[in-house]
């Protein structure tokens, strides 16, 4: 019973400190929360929590604040995430459904997440190892130009225009070559990871007559360029200005945090390793973040899917004094809506 009561005291300290940013004293806990015990008992529980390294006194006042370990225990013992309200869910859905392509989805997502959580939002473009080719389309643009269109399972579309050499695409023979090339490319690439698709297309020109090979090489070369661009690990973020609003949570300086956010590799690492469970929300608190500049921050992240497969991650970064239940619920809800948008 005493352990459960101390957990209730810790939970109350976390909630009050997140709400007020002021160290929490035993008297305030008794007045604000129905703990069912005396102030003396609460003081004893706070003493035990401090001995266990879950709270500490930032200065000589009677108040206490959570440590990284205290936040970790609080998050680990969350029985449920705070549900989003119907109005919030509707707003999320309407905002994201207005996106016209994947770039717009990513841009809207980070802006929405930063607004919902008042933190820095980070989103990774679909990962190289998890993206696949959905379809390749070839569209003649006159006698000597061909539009090559790559569509990836995440909804991203890349286009390239190539010169066809000696093949006249307006003739029956030219149309037949394009039709065969479209079939052969999709047979080799559709449904395959980007790197595998690129490798399988290298031998394709040898299957065609010598006079047609320049056209085939031009088309497969354009696809290789598009696939290479798709394979770049890209990360987008929004809401760094929110850190200025939270300056009191970084008593020394927010400089190291801003410098860390400028490093591409750091941003990718923030999102962690994706599992297979769409609903798993990961939380890294304070010194659990390996980058030195981020030891005063917490990162809440999850994965989003295209169909049944997780393809990349998204999340938010803010101070350790974070409303974890609300932030975790927002990250999970937005990821679900993004997954719905990207479903085939």
Give the C-alpha separation, 248 to 261, whole Å: 19
At 217, which CATH number? 3.30.390.10
Q: State whether 289 and 255 are in the same domain.
A: yes
Q: State whether 63 and 180 are in the same domain.
A: no
> Alpha carbon 159 to chain centroid distance?
26
Question: Does residue 199 form part of some domain?
Answer: yes
| Of 300, 303, 309, the residue nearest 330 (C-alpha) | 300
Domain count along the chain: 3
Q: State whether 120 and 143 are in the same domain.
A: no
Q: Which pTM was predicted? A: 0.75
Segment 307-321, tens digit of pLDDT: 777 778 899 999 999
Segment 216-268, tens digit of pLDDT: 899 988 888 877 665 556 788 998 888 877 767 776 677 888 888 888 777 77
Q: State whether 116 and 140 are in the same domain.
A: no
Q: State whether 139 and 224 are in the same domain.
A: yes
Q: State whether 220 and 237 are in the same domain.
A: no
Question: Does residue 96 form part of some domain?
Answer: yes
- The Cα diameter of the chain in Å comes to 93
| Of 61, 60, 62, 2, the residue nearest 36 (C-alpha) | 2
| Of 84, 92, 103, 115, the residue nearest 154 (C-alpha) | 103
Question: Does residue 76 form part of some domain?
Answer: no
Q: State whether 165 and 39 are in the same domain.
A: no
Which two three-digit tokens encode residue 124?
Answer: 């990774």
What value does the CA radius of gyration of the chain take, rounded to a whole number of Å?
Answer: 27
Question: Does residue 81 form part of some domain?
Answer: no
At 51, which CATH number? 1.10.10.10
Give the C-alpha separation, 342 to 103, whole Å: 12
At 105, which CATH number? 3.30.450.40
Specify the pLDDT at position 17. Answer: 93
Segment 181-225, tens digit of pLDDT: 999 999 999 988 878 888 888 889 999 988 888 888 999 888 888
Q: State whether 302 and 220 are in the same domain.
A: no
Which two three-digit tokens encode residue 127?
Answer: 């990962």
| Of 315, 304, 230, the residue nearest 267 (C-alpha) | 315
One digit per residue, the tens of pLDDT, for the chain of length 344 reads: 588 888 989 999 999 999 998 899 888 888 888 888 888 888 899 999 999 999 998 876 668 999 999 999 999 988 777 778 888 888 888 888 888 888 888 899 999 999 999 999 999 887 655 678 889 999 998 888 899 998 887 777 788 898 887 888 889 988 999 999 999 999 999 988 878 888 888 889 999 988 888 888 999 888 888 776 655 567 889 988 888 777 677 766 778 888 888 887 777 777 765 555 667 899 999 988 888 888 889 999 998 887 777 778 899 999 999 999 999 999 999 999 998 888 76
Q: State whether 244 and 208 are in the same domain.
A: no
Q: State whether 177 and 317 are in the same domain.
A: no
Domain end: 203, 231, 259, which one? 231
Question: Does residue 330 form part of some domain?
Answer: yes
Range of the domain at 274: 86-127+233-342
Domain end: 31, 46, 71, which one? 71
Q: State whether 123 and 241 are in the same domain.
A: yes
Helix (H) or strand (E) holding 231: helix 213-231
Q: State whether 206 and 60 are in the same domain.
A: no
């Amino acid at each position: 019973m005493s352990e459960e009561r101390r957990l209730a005291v810790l939970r109350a300290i976390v909630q009050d400190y997140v709400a007020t940013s002021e160290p929490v004293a035993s008297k305030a806990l008794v007045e604000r929360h129905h703990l069912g015990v005396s102030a003396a008992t609460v003081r004893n529980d706070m003493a035990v929590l401090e001995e266990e390294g879950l709270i500490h006194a930032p200065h000589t006042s009677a108040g206490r604040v959570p440590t990284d370990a205290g936040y970790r225990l609080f998050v680990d013992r969350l029985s449920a995430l705070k549900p989003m309200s119907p109005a919030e869910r509707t707003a999320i859905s309407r905002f994201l459904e207005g996106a016209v392509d994947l770039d717009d989805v990513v841009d809207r997502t980070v802006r929405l997440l930063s607004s919902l959580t008042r933190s820095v939002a980070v989103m990774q473009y679909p990962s190289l190892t998890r993206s696949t080719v959905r379809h390749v389309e070839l569209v003649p643009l006159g006698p000597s130009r061909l539009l090559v269109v790559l569509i990836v399972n995440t909804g991203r579309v890349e286009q390239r225009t190539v010169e066809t050499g000696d093949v006249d695409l307006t003739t029956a023979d030219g149309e037949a070559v394009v039709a065969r090339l479209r079939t052969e490319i999709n047979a080799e690439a559709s449904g395959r990871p980007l790197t595998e698709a690129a490798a399988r297309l290298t031998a394709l020109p040898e299957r065609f007559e010598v006079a047609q090979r320049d056209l085939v090489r031009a088309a497969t070369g354009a696809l290789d360029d598009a696939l290479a661009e798709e394979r770049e690990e890209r990360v987008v973020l929004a809401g760094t200005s929110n850190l200025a609003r939270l300056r009191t949570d970084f008593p020394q300086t927010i400089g190291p945090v801003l410098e860390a956010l400028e490093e591409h590799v750091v941003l990718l690492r923030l999102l962690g390793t994706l599992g297979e469970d769409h609903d798993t929300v990961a939380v890294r608190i304070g010194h659990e973040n390996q980058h030195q500049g981020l030891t005063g921050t917490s990162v809440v992240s999850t994965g989003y899917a295209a169909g049944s497969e997780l393809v990349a991650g998204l999340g938010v970064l803010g101070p350790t004094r974070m409303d974890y239940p609300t932030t975790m619920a927002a990250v999970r809800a937005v990821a679900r809506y993004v997954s719905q948008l990207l479903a085939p």
